[in-house]
Amino acid sequence: MKPFQTQIDVRFGHVDPAGIAYFPRIFDYIHEAFEELWDVHVGKRYYHLLAEEGIGFPLVHSDVDFKNPMHFGDRVIARITCFKLGTSSLGLRYVFSIGDSVCLDARMTTVCVELDTLKSFPIPTAYRAKFETLLE
């Protein structure tokens, strides 16, 4: 298993007065990496999944360990693997690093839902196959 990898740049507007990326911004970074995963790895822009297919993957649980701060100018590498692939649930692990230094380790669980009803349903087979390649 090879993780999906993308880069996140810490911008000036992303840091607090202490000079580190403010923790709510970290959740934005995680979601940006999630959307990049859909676009590049799965082959479907998350926007189109929502707008055209009426399917979403809302967050139902998060577990984030903050290990080292990220500063303005840092180029962070986000590695994404799948720790859980249920019938309708999807557990993705995000490890953000700068060089050999791990900044955060997050486990985010989402559920596949129909947007009009918010009822869960099985992850479509074509998408499931893409996430299977990321299983830890």
Q: Which domains does the chain have, with CATH numbers?
A: 4-132 (3.10.129.10)
pLDDT of residue 70: 97
Q: What is the pTM of this model?
A: 0.95
Between the alpha carbon of residue 57 and those of residues 34, 48, 117, the distances in Å are 10, 13, 13
β-strand partners of 84: 91
pLDDT at 54 over 90: yes
pLDDT of residue 97: 98
- Measured in whole angstroms, the distance separating CA 86 from the mean position of its chain's CA atoms is 17
How does residue 1 score in pLDDT terms, banded at 50, 70 and 90? confident
With contact defined as beta carbons under 8 Å apart, do 115 and 72 qualify? no
> Terminus-to-terminus CA distance in the chain, angstroms?
7
pLDDT tens readout for residues 55-111: 999 999 999 999 999 999 999 999 999 999 999 999 999 999 999 999 999 999 999
pLDDT of residue 100: 96
The residues, any chain, with a CB within 8 Å of residue 131's CB and separated by 6 or more, are 42, 82, 85, 90, 123
DSSP code at position 58 = -
DSSP code at position 64 = E
